[in-house]
Amino acid sequence: MILALLVLAVSGAAYYVSFLRERTSPFGDSDRPTEPWNILLISLDTTRPDYLAACASGPVATPSLDRIAGGGFVLSSMISPAPITLPSHASLLTGLNPNRHGVRENTEYALPDDAITAAETFRSHGYRTQAFVSAFVMDGRFGLEQGFGDYVDDLTAPSVRPGAVELPGAVSTSRAAEWISAHATARRRGDETRPFFLFLHLFDAHAPYAPPSPYRESYPSDPYAGELAYQDAVLGAVLDRLEVVGEADRTLIWVVSDHGESLGAHGEDTHSLFVYDVTQRIVSLLRLPPANGRYETGAPRLVADDVTGIVDVYPTLLDLMGIAPPGSEATAGLDGQSLVPLLRGESDPERAIYCETWSPYVSYRWAPLEAVRTKQWKYIRAPFPELYDLVSDPNEETNLAAAKPDVVRDLSNHLDTFIAGASGGTLAAGATRAASEEELERLRSLGYLGNAGTPSPGDVDFSKLPDPKRQVAFFRGPFQSAKSLLLSGRVDEAIAKFEDARSADPGNPSVHQFLGVAYRQAGEFRDAADSYRTALALQPDSPRSWVGMGRAQMSLGHPDSARTAFVTARTLLPHSPDSWEGLGDLAWEAGDVARAATLLDSARVLGAPPILIEGKLARLYRDDFPDAARASRHLEAYARALGTNATEAARRLPPSPLR
């Protein structure tokens, strides 16, 4: 794999150099719109540019992306600020680094209300704003819905199994295409005069990789590549629809990815643990509206290999639309900058980009990583610092930190500047949020399996924590095996592996929390309580450990201890539905059905998944706290969550603890 990627990198570099030397048509004043363009911003989750023919002569044919790159601008060294979906998208939509907007991990955080998003800005300037997202991790509850007139995060569809945590790209692109048609019809009738800002998110390339036929057969030994091919194919429907309804000649398209995928490089299978270029270097294809209304393949107008960041997308769009030129009040506080000078052909070889991952700390209490990326260098601040010369070592295999102390010092100072700048303008204080156990289950099914709880670093000396790169053997060994076994339902085997992991890393609260989950699933509630107790000794402010303890104590027949645990969890994170649901279950079990109804409905309002909470409420209002209208309403919601009819849903209601 490493050799193959090296070949890809070399061939891709040659491809770019060829275009830079032979084909350039920089952006000019005549390219600016005379009236506002539509904007279609597309995010391809977990997509590596070196795999794509449109980006780097990669092995995956991309006829749809070729139509965007052809006649467009290819920014071949765009960097993600975080190898994690929610933080990266928060940066895309705000122009701020994660240490500014405060979203450092999935579900542990939400974008604060006082963040100003691209959707909010364009809406205030007369745009119609719409979003279609394809995964639970992008759910509107995490704050990205700000500014969108409609933010479609509904993961139900006739072709999708109930309770799914992601949508196939074909569903999301179909929704987007139908919306474009409706918009175009309204515009022709004179019912709609606004341009649109449309955000489309696809999640197909995310693990686990399971491309549908015929892409599975086309890439039998590389399902990740098959997912990329499928993703490209379904994207074509959106381009076709823009052309057919006459919106192409007024629509700017920008395609980015939020992060890449390690695929085994540096000992990481997926992403989130490290900040090497396999996860940080991302897709960036910009296509101005084609004058002839057709997205046609061909050579790019310009390929630029200067370092840029996903934080640059927002200010560049503002500049292109004439809303906020560089240096204006609207862009002065952003970490990103307009790339219009780069599109004109001007180079900025000294640009430095910040990136980080807090996942090691949030999930495992290992050291977080912070990095600075320039055109030549990458410096990673860690307990054992890293420095790579990306010109001679693009795969980041030779650590030069000890050999180049002057470079380390300069880049470390640069990193300090990024961090100091954030401390004066961060939104982080309002960013942390609760993640329910149901939410975490959804994330585990997507591969986000950390579980240590909302971080409260305080005065933690990160340099004294385990270095993530020194934990790879543990991460890929008993811990990874145990998590995989647990996900596949092989609980007894998972417990044995988690016990091995506990012996290998006894100070890791996630290990003890997962062991508690596994013991609960096995019905070993006393062992589960012991595991949660150890996790809480390591991290007493973990609401999820308190909720787990509450569930274990309920199963052991200790309602007072369970109530104490749930109340503690609710005090730590009042907006978590888990603690409210646990208290509601306790009240129901005790026969206090009126209080149970109030508490369970609070959990529903706070975001408990309908497939769980609606069934409980339907049963409660039907049998134990009779209210026919409410019972019917919750039964209908439960049926929708199950993807069935009310009659079948009624047969599948969860049992009452009173019967």
The domain defined by 576-659 folds into 1.25.40
Low-confidence ranges of the chain (pLDDT < 50): 1-23, 424-425, 428-430, 443, 446-455
Measured from the Cβ of residue 578, the count of other Cβ atoms closer than 10 Å reads 28
The DSSP bridge pattern shows strands 353-357 and 369-373 to be antiparallel
Beta carbons of 280 and 355 less than 8 angstroms apart: yes
Burial of 516 per CB tally in 10 Å (0-12, 13-18, 19+): buried
Which residues, listed in sequence order, are joined to residue 151 by a DSSP beta bridge? 131
Tokens of 276: 């090497």
Q: What is the pLDDT of residue 433?
A: 56
C-alpha distances in Å from residue 233, one per residue of 58, 340, 557, 561: 16, 30, 54, 54
Q: What is the pLDDT of residue 5?
A: 39
Which pTM value belongs to this model? 0.85
If DSSP states are collapsed to H, E and C, what string results for 403-456? CCHHHHHHHHHHHHHHHHHHHHHCCHHHCECCCCHHHHHHHHHCCCCCCCCCCC
Q: Do domains 2-24+37-414 and 576-659 have the same CATH topology?
A: no
Angle of helix 543-555 relative to helix 437-445, nearest 10 degrees, comes to: 110
Which CATH code, of 1.25.40.10, 1.20.1270.10, 3.40.50.11540, 1.10.12.10, is assigned to 448-563? 1.25.40.10
The CA distance from 459 to 406, in Å, is 28
Q: What is the pLDDT of residues 303-322, one digit of tens each?
A: 999 999 999 999 999 999 99
Q: Tokens 């540096």 correspond to what residue?
A: 266
Nearest C-alpha neighbor of 110 from the set 443, 397, 454, 344: 454
| Residue 287 amino acid letter | R
The CA distance from 406 to 164, in Å, is 51
User: Domain coordinates of the chain in residue numbers?
Assistant: 2-24+37-414, 448-563, 576-659
3-state secondary structure of 165: coil
The domain defined by 2-24+37-414 folds into Alkaline Phosphatase, subunit A (3.40.720)
